[in-house]
């Protein structure tokens, strides 16, 4: 027999414990939901393994979880006859946190308890929430199929360490004993415990049992409904039931934003109960992030986190999928190359997308919340899922010069409806913030002509324009790329002639500025884009956008930087004055640099030599 070991918690566990005890205090009753949830998971795992090895049931096939309390000993006990844990499993599962991104998550937390409570809820609190109410927790477990003498006892006061030692346990499964803190006597009460169980665990597919004492007799009472919620007819389910079930499977505190519950019959038979959370999880952008679907086959739990039934860009969807036609022994490998799986996936994807479309039309405020939380992820959709490309594009929203308000976003359909008769392209500008985009000098002529421009300030936007090149026959055109098509932006004949005249008049100045700037620019030319700014920079049509260049550089990639084209505004006093005073070579050179510098700055770029820029500016100011 192995001797008693005392081990330290992983650093992250210590931090979580500390945080949880402080920030979740007002939600402390959720410890019971978490422990019952673990018991239900343990029952699911046993049922699953027993498909291949029926002897694991050891003649005890009625799986349940029992909640007891003892006011004298001041303990609450949660006992299940599920899969149980070995010594090593206890050390690993109850001493570390395996979730990737935990460290980053912890670093993102503040000392603001209310905010942290919500975030920590999204993270999933689990077993460690026991320590919100208990100052000592004892776990005794025997793994299914293992001898009674090889059971293990785990104990901790939730400070820095825990102990494990072997013990004897005849019954299979796990018993969790919470030694309640002095101020937590409220949980030593039958009514209180029952209320919590019904509130959070009514619709888990596992009976939660409490002992009922009547006179001298003791009887078992099933406290929850213990029916799998997704199998009930929709008209028997209240919104509250849906919400609590969501909180149970998602370990969330907040109600979900959307519920999708469908029974599909015919070729494929399955039931889905899908949710969209009201808040994005902390690890939404991590590639290895878990998916949120639980797979059941004919009401038997098969596995968690299945990713085969929804595309990656819908990874925020949580819920349950219960299929009738898959074999019980289905594995992740089988799921990967299965036509039935493909067809269910395509059905679920359509369902989520059409639900979102409906919300976008009928409940705009709700859609706003959705878009704020998950919009950036949905933008991966048209590229990943070419089959539903147009449906997804319909759901995308962008800021636009139409409103000048970051929150009032438009769809491409709305944009196309508002296009001018002569307009061929969807015009956009990219920048790293809404206000940088909104104030770009390149927009000036578009504002003057009343042409709407999309203000793209999300990091994925430029990538999107590169990969989704066309929609409803319209292609994208960046307002800071290439030469402007004056007809398309609706310039009149007179305006065009004026432009031509300008080009002649400033021919010499253009040449001198180009000479002064040398290799720093690719070209200098007269601008048709500007009304109030003296200068702006643009790049060639085929070049990578400046914002994209910066993103890639920040990510450590080597980008061959396109040299900018400097455009000057022929109606701006600075440019006119410069044209008249070309003879002063030093002044011309300083002005050229300063104009280029401010054009780069107002576009959100960085100067290669900021102090030189300042010196040149100061020289001009002194004069
Ligand atoms: P999660 O349930 O999200 O994995 P928890 O902190 O709730 O996180 O539990 C950690 C792990 O401990 C579980 O994944 C499971 O492996 C193990 N565990 C907890 N409770 C039980 C139990 N009653 N029976 C068997 N294993 C359990
Ligand atoms: Mg858990």
- pLDDT at position 459 over 90: no
For 106-115, 238-247, 449-458, 493-502, which range has the lowest pLDDT when averaged over its residues? 106-115
Pocket flag, ligand 1, residue 442 (CB < 6 Å): no
Topology, domain 230-369: Ribosomal Protein S5; domain 2 (3.30.230)
With H, G, I as helix, E, B as strand and everything else as coil, classify residue 490: coil
Pocket flag, ligand 1, residue 127 (CB < 6 Å): yes
> Which pLDDT does position 121 carry in this prediction?
65
For the chain, report the end-to-end CA distance as a whole number of angstroms: 91
Pocket flag, ligand 1, residue 80 (CB < 6 Å): yes
Average pLDDT on 268-282 reads 92
Tokens of 395: 């759901």
Q: What is the 3-state secondary structure (H, E, C) of 214-246?
A: ECCEEEEEECCCCCCHHHCCHHHCCHHHHHHHH
Beginning with the edge strand found earlier in the chain, give each strand of the sheet holding 173-180 in spatial order: 5-8, 161-167, 151-156, 134-142, 173-180, 75-80, 65-70, 208-214, 217-222
Nearest alpha carbon, ligand 1 atom 4: 126
- pLDDT at position 176 over 70: yes
> Which pLDDT does position 113 carry in this prediction?
67
Which of 41, 44, 64, 88 to mutate to test ligand 1, by most ligand atoms within 8 A of the CB atom?
41
Atom of ligand 1 nearest to the CA of 98: 4
- pLDDT at position 166 over 90: yes
Residue 290 pLDDT level (bands cut at 50, 70, 90): low
Nearest alpha carbon, ligand 1 atom 12: 93
Pocket flag, ligand 1, residue 63 (CB < 6 Å): no
Report the predicted TM-score, pTM, of the whole model to 2 decimal places: 0.80
CA of 200 to the centre of ligand 2 (A): 14
CA of 41 to the centre of ligand 2 (A): 8
DSSP run (H or E) holding 119:
helix 113-123
Tokens of 2: 């192995």
State what percent of residues in the chain have pLDDT above 90: 64
Atom of ligand 1 nearest to the CA of 83: 25
Topology, domain 5-225: Heat Shock Protein 90 (3.30.565)
Chain segment 93-103, per-residue pLDDT in tens: 999 987 777 78
CA of 174 to the centre of ligand 2 (A): 13
Pocket flag, ligand 1, residue 292 (CB < 6 Å): no
Atom of ligand 1 nearest to the CA of 82: 24
Pocket flag, ligand 1, residue 322 (CB < 6 Å): no
> Which pLDDT does position 288 carry in this prediction?
65
Nearest alpha carbon, ligand 1 atom 1: 126
Backbone angles phi, psi at 352, to 5 degrees: -65, -45
In sequence order, what are the beta bridge partners of 523? Answer: 565
> Which pLDDT does position 588 carry in this prediction?
92
What residue segments make up the domains of the chain, in order of their start? Answer: 5-225, 230-369, 498-622
CATH class of 498-622: mainly alpha
Nearest alpha carbon, ligand 1 atom 15: 93
Residue 183 pLDDT level (bands cut at 50, 70, 90): very high
Pocket flag, ligand 1, residue 388 (CB < 6 Å): no
Chain segment 545-587, per-residue pLDDT in tens: 877 887 788 778 877 777 899 999 999 999 999 999 888 888 9
Residue burial 122-159, b: 16+ Cβ < 10 Å; e: rest? bbbbbbbbbbbbbebbbbbbbbbbbeeebbbbbbbebe
Average pLDDT on 279-283 reads 82
- pLDDT at position 289 over 70: no
> Which pLDDT does position 128 carry in this prediction?
92
> Which pLDDT does position 311 carry in this prediction?
94
Average pLDDT on 504-523 reads 93
Pocket flag, ligand 1, residue 38 (CB < 6 Å): yes
Residue 191 pLDDT level (bands cut at 50, 70, 90): very high
Cα 196 from Cα 263, distance rounded (Å):
30
| In the block, residue with structure tokens 């036609």 | 325
Mean pLDDT of all residues belonging to the chain = 90
Atom of ligand 1 nearest to the CA of 251: 3
CA of 536 to the centre of ligand 1 (A): 59
Chain segment 528-543, per-residue pLDDT in tens: 899 999 999 998 888 8
Atom of ligand 1 nearest to the CA of 45: 25
């Amino acid at each position: 027999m192995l001797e008693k070991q005392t081990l330290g918690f992983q650093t992250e566990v210590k931090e979580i414990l500390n945080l949880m005890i402080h920030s979740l205090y007002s939600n402390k009753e959720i410890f019971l939901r978490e422990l019952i949830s673990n018991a239900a998971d343990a029952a699911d795992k046993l049922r699953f393994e027993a498909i291949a090895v029926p002897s694991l049931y050891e003649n005890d096939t009625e799986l349940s979880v029992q909640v007891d309390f003892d006011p004298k000993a001041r303990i609450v006990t949660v006992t299940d006859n599920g899969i149980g844990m070995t010594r090593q499993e206890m050390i690993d599962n109850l001493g570390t946190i395996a979730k990737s991104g935990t460290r980053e998550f912890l670093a993102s937390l503040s000392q603001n308890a209310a905010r942290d409570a919500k975030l920590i809820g999204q993270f999933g609190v689990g077993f460690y929430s026991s320590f919100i109410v208990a100052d000592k927790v004892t776990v005794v477990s025997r793994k299914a199929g293992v001898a009674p003498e090889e059971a293990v006892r785990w104990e901790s006061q939730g400070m820095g360490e825990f102990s494990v030692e072997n013990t004897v346990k005849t019954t299979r499964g796990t018993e969790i004993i919470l030694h309640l803190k002095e101020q937590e006597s409220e949980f030593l009460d039958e009514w209180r415990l029952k209320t919590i169980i019904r509130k959070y665990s009514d619709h888990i597919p596992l009976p939660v049992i409490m002992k009922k004492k009547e006179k001298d007799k003791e009887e078992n009472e099933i406290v929850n409904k213990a029916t799998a919620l997704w199998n009930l007819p929709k008209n028997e389910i209240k919104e509250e039931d849906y919400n609590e079930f969501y909180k149970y499977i998602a370990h969330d505190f907040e109600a979900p934003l959307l519920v999708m519950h469908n029974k599909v019959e015919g070729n494929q038979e399955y039931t889905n109960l899908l949710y969209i959370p009201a808040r994005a999880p902390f690890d939404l952008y991590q590639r290895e992030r878990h998916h949120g679907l639980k797979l059941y086959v004919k009401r038997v739990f098969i596995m968690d986190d299945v990713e085969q039934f929804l595309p990656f860009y819908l990874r925020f969807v949580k819920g349950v999928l219960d299929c009738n036609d898959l074999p019980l022994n289905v594995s992740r490998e089988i799921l990967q190359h299965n036509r039935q799986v493909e067809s269910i996936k395509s059905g679920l994807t359509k369902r989520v997308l059409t639900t979102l479309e409906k919300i976008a039309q009928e409940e705009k405020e709700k859609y706003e919340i959705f878009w704020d939380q998950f919009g950036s992820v949905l933008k991966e959709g048209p590229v990943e899922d070419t089959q539903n490309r147009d449906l997804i594009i319909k759901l995308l929203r962008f800021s636009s010069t139409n409103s000048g308000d970051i929150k009032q976003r438009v769809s491409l359909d709305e944009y196309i409806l508002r296009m001018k008769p002569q307009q061929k392209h969807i015009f956009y500008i990219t920048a790293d913030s809404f206000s940088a985009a909104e104030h770009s000098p390149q927009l000036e002529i578009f504002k003057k002509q009343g042409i709407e421009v999309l203000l793209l300030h999300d990091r994925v936007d430029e990538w999107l324009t590169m990969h989704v090149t066309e929609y409803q026959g319209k292609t994208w055109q960046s307002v800071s790329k290439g030469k402007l098509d004056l007809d398309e932006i609706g310039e009149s004949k007179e305006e065009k002639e004026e432009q031509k005249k300008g080009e002649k008049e400033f021919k010499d100045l253009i040449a001198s500025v180009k000479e002064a700037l040398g290799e720093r620019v690719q070209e200098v030319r007269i601008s048709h884009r500007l009304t109030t700014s003296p200068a702006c920079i643009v790049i060639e049509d085929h070049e990578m956008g400046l914002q994209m260049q910066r993103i890639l550089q920040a990510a450590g990639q080597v980008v061959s930087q396109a040299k900018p084209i400097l455009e000057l505004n022929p109606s701006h006093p600075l440019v006119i004055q410069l044209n008249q005073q070309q003879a002063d070579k030093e002044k011309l050179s300083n002005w050229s640099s300063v104009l280029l510098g401010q054009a780069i700055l107002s576009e959100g770029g960085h100067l290669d030599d900021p102090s030189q820029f300042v010196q040149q500016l100061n020289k001009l100011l002194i004069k």
